[in-house]
C-alpha cells in the first residue's frame, strides 16, 4: 500500500469503458427499475465531448477524434460535475439540458485526473440560471441503498437502486486509491453515458466509477471524495488531493516485528521508504519508523484505522481525502524504543515531480529529433502504448524505472529518464536504424537528467562531434553536427515530421515551412 500517489498512465486508455455498452434495452425486475421525478431533469445535463488523444510512440501524431457523452450533475455555482476521463484531451464540449434540449458550448473549469472528477461550465453563464443544483448527501455506509440515475436518449430518467455491500479504498483512474462504495445492483439500461450520477434520498452520493455486469457490482466514487474536490475547487485555486510522501507496509509478520524491535503492545505501519523532498522527509520521518497514530487516529498493524462510519479503513483515506493540501498533521512515530511526534505538512505531488510521470494530459508530448533519433522522457503514457499487457510487453529495463522510481538512489537519481524511442530511417542513420528504447546517460560528457539537458549539451560538441552515451548497446554513438541540418531536411520532406528546435533561438522545422533550404545533393534521396 502506498501513501504516495502511485499513478500510471495515459488518459486515452483510462477506464472509460467501465460504464459504456451497447444501446439495447434489457428488462429488469420492477423493484429495481423506477422512474425518477421530472424535477430531477433540471439538475442533470447531458455533456457531449469530442476529444483527440496523442500517440506517445509517435509524439507528433494524434489519434482520430472520438465523441463521448456523459450525464453531468449541476452543482453550486452552475457548474456541471462529470468524470475527468471524459474531458481528457478534449477539443469541444457541448452541454444540453434534458428538459428543454437547450445546447451551449462548455469548457473545463477544474479537473483532477487522479480522483477522476471534473467541473465543466457553460461559456454563457445564463445557461445555468434555471438549473437546480444537486446538494451533496451525507456519507453513506454499508447496508444503505443508493440509486443510479440513467438517462434515455429522449431525456427520460430511469433509476436503478442497490445496497452498499462494502466501503473501502478502490482503484480510481491512474491507479490512485480513494474511497469507493460497492453497490449490489446492475445497470439494466445502458445508453453509452460515461458519467452516471448516484443519489441517496435527494442528495448526490457519488458518480459511477465502473460497472461489473457479470458480478452485478457497481463501484461508486464516494461522497467524501467529491466533497473534498468541490471544496478545493470552490476556493478558486485548486490544489488537488494531498500526499505525505512515503511508502509503508503492515506489521503483522512476527519476524519483521522482531527484526525492527517493535514490542507487542505497539501497533502501526512500517515505513519502507521516505520520498526525498516530500512532506514526510521534510518532517523528519525515516525508513524503519513505525507510525502508530495519524492525528487523533490510532493505527492497526493492518495499516487501517477505526472510522466511525465505515469501520476499519485504510490510513490512506486519512491523508488523501479527509485532509487538505497544507494541513499540518501530527504523526506519532515509534523509533529506537521511544514514541515521538512529527508534524507533517501535507502537499500535492504533481505528475511532473515523478521520475516517470504517471500521466500527461491536455498537452502534446515533448520530443526531440537529433540525427534521426527520436528522444523522449519516459512516461506512463509511453509504456501504456504497449497495450493492455504493457506490464509484460513493455521493455523490462523501462519498467524497472517505473516500478522502482521512488527507490532509486545515487547514480540512478535524476529528474527524468530520457530514452531514444526510435530512429527515423535516412541515408545517415544506416547501422543504427533499428535502435529503440535505450536510455541516454550522457551527451557530450554531460549527464542527462531531463530532455532539456540534451539541448544544453548539444551546444558543446566534443572534438567536432556529438558523443551520445547510452546505458544499453551500442553504448556510444557519434554524430557529425554539420550533418544534422541535412538529416532534418530529409525527415521533414520525406516523412513530413516536424522537427522541434534544439536551441532556444531556433525555430522548429515544419514539413510545410522548413527553416533550412533544401540541399541539392540530398533533397532527392
Question: Would you kindly state where each structural domain of the chain is located, as residue ranges?
Answer: 11-212, 246-345, 366-494
Mean pLDDT across 364-369: 97
Mean pLDDT across 345-356: 96
Task: Report the candidate in 465, 449, 385 with the shortest Cα–Cα distance to residue 417.
Answer: 449
Mean pLDDT of the chain: 88
CB 341 within 8 A of CB 332: yes
Residue 23 has pLDDT above 60, yes or no: no
Of the ranges 5-19, 82-96, 132-146, 192-206, which one carries the lowest mean pLDDT score?
Answer: 5-19
pLDDT of residue 361: 96
pLDDT of residue 37: 57
pLDDT of residue 407: 87
% of the chain exceeding 70 in pLDDT: 87
Residue 27 has pLDDT above 50, yes or no: no
What is the band of 8 on the pLDDT scale with cuts at 50, 70, 90?
Answer: very low
CB 385 within 8 A of CB 55: yes
Q: Which fold has domain 246-345?
A: Pdz3 Domain (2.30.42)
Mean pLDDT across 85-100: 96
Distance CA 487, CA 192 (A): 47
Contacts of 425 (CB under 8 A, 6+ apart): 372, 433
Query: Would strands 44-51 and 33-35 be described as parallel, antiparallel, or unpaired?
Result: unpaired
> 11-212 is classed in which CATH architecture?
Beta Barrel (2.40)
pLDDT in tens, 61-72: 999 999 999 999
pLDDT of residue 6: 35
Distance CA 399, CA 437 (A): 11
pLDDT in tens, 233-269: 997 799 999 999 999 999 999 999 999 999 999 999 9
List b or e across 477-492, with b for residues whose CB sees 16 or more CB atoms inside 10 angstroms: bebeeeebbbbbbbbb
pLDDT of residue 214: 75
Distance CA 384, CA 165 (A): 33
CA 520 to chain centre: 48
CATH class of 366-494: alpha beta
pLDDT in tens, 167-202: 999 999 777 999 999 999 988 776 788 899 999 988
Residue 517 has pLDDT above 70, yes or no: no
What is the band of 398 on the pLDDT scale with cuts at 50, 70, 90?
Answer: very high
Amino acid at each position: 500500500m502506498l501513501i504516495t500517489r502511485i499513478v500510471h498512465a495515459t488518459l486515452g486508455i483510462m477506464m472509460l469503458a467501465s460504464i459504456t455498452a451497447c444501446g439495447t434495452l434489457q428488462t429488469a425486475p420492477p423493484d429495481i427499475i423506477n422512474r425518477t421525478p421530472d424535477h430531477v431533469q433540471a439538475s442533470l445535463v447531458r455533456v457531449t465531448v469530442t476529444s483527440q488523444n496523442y500517440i506517445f510512440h509517435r509524439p507528433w501524431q494524434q489519434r482520430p477524434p472520438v465523441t463521448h457523452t456523459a450525464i453531468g450533475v449541476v452543482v453550486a455555482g452552475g457548474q456541471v460535475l462529470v468524470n475527468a476521463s471524459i474531458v481528457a484531451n478534449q477539443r469541444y464540449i457541448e452541454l444540453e439540458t434534458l428538459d428543454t434540449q437547450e445546447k451551449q458550448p462548455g469548457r473545463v473549469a477544474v479537473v483532477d485526473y487522479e480522483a477522476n472528477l471534473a467541473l465543466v461550465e457553460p461559456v454563457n453563464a445564463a445557461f445555468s440560471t434555471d438549473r437546480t443544483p444537486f446538494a451533496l448527501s451525507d456519507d453513506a455506509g454499508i447496508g444503505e441503498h443508493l440509486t443510479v440515475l440513467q438517462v434515455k436518449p429522449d431525456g427520460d430518467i430511469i433509476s436503478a437502486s442497490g445496497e452498499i455491500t462494502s466501503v473501502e479504498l478502490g482503484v480510481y483512474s491512474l491507479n490512485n486509491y480513494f474511497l469507493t462504495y460497492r453497490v449490489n445492483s446492475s445497470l439494466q439500461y445502458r445508453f453509452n453515458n460515461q458519467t452516471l450520477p448516484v443519489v441517496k434520498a435527494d442528495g448526490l452520493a457519488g458518480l459511477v466509477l465502473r460497472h461489473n455486469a457479470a458480478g452485478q457490482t457497481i463501484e461508486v466514487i464516494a461522497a467524501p471524495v467529491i466533497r473534498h474536490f468541490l471544496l478545493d475547487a470552490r476556493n478558486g485555486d485548486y490544489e488537488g488531493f494531498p500526499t505525505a510522501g512515503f511508502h509503508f507496509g503492515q506489521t503483522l509478520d512476527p519476524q519483521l516485528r522482531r527484526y525492527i524491535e517493535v514490542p507487542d503492545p505497539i501497533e502501526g505501519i512500517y515505513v519502507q521508504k521516505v520520498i526525498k523532498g516530500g512532506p514526510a522527509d521534510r518532517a523528519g520521518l525515516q525508513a524503519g519508523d513505525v507510525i502508530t497514530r495519524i492525528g487523533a487516529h490510532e493505527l492497526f498493524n493492518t495499516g487501517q484505522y477505526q472510522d466511525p462510519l465505515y469501520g476499519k479503513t485504510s490510513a490512506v483515506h486519512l491523508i488523501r481525502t479527509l485532509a487538505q493540501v497544507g494541513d499540518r498533521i501530527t504523526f506519532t512515530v515509534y523509533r529506537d524504543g521511544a514514541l515521538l511526534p512529527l508534524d507533517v505538512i501535507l502537499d500535492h505531488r504533481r505528475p511532473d515531480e515523478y521520475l516517470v510521470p504517471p500521466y500527461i494530459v491536455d498537452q502534446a508530448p515533448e520530443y526531440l529529433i537529433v540525427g534521426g533519433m527520436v528522444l523522449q522522457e519516459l512516461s506512463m503514457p509511453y509504456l501504456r502504448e504497449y497495450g493492455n499487457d504493457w506490464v509484460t510487453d513493455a521493455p523490462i529495463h523501462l519498467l524497472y524505472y517505473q516500478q522502482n522510481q521512488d527507490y532509486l538512489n545515487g547514480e540512478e537519481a535524476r529528474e527524468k529518464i530520457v530514452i531514444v524511442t526510435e530512429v527515423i530511417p535516412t541515408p545517415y542513420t544506416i547501422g543504427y536504424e533499428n535502435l529503440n528504447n535505450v536510455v541516454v546517460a550522457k551527451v557530450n560528457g554531460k549527464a542527462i537528467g531531463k530532455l532539456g539537458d540534451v539541448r544544453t549539451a548539444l551546444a558543446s560538441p566534443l572534438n567536432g562531434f556529438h558523443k551520445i552515451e547510452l546505458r544499453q548497446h551500442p553504448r556510444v554513438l557519434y554524430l557529425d553536427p554539420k550533418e544534422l541540418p541535412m538529416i532534418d531536411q530529409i525527415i521533414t520532406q520525406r516523412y513530413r515530421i516536424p522537427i522541434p528546435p534544439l536551441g532556444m533561438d531556433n525555430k522548429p522545422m515544419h514539413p510545410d515551412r522548413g527553416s533550412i533550404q533544401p540541399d541539392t545533393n540530398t533533397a532527392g534521396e
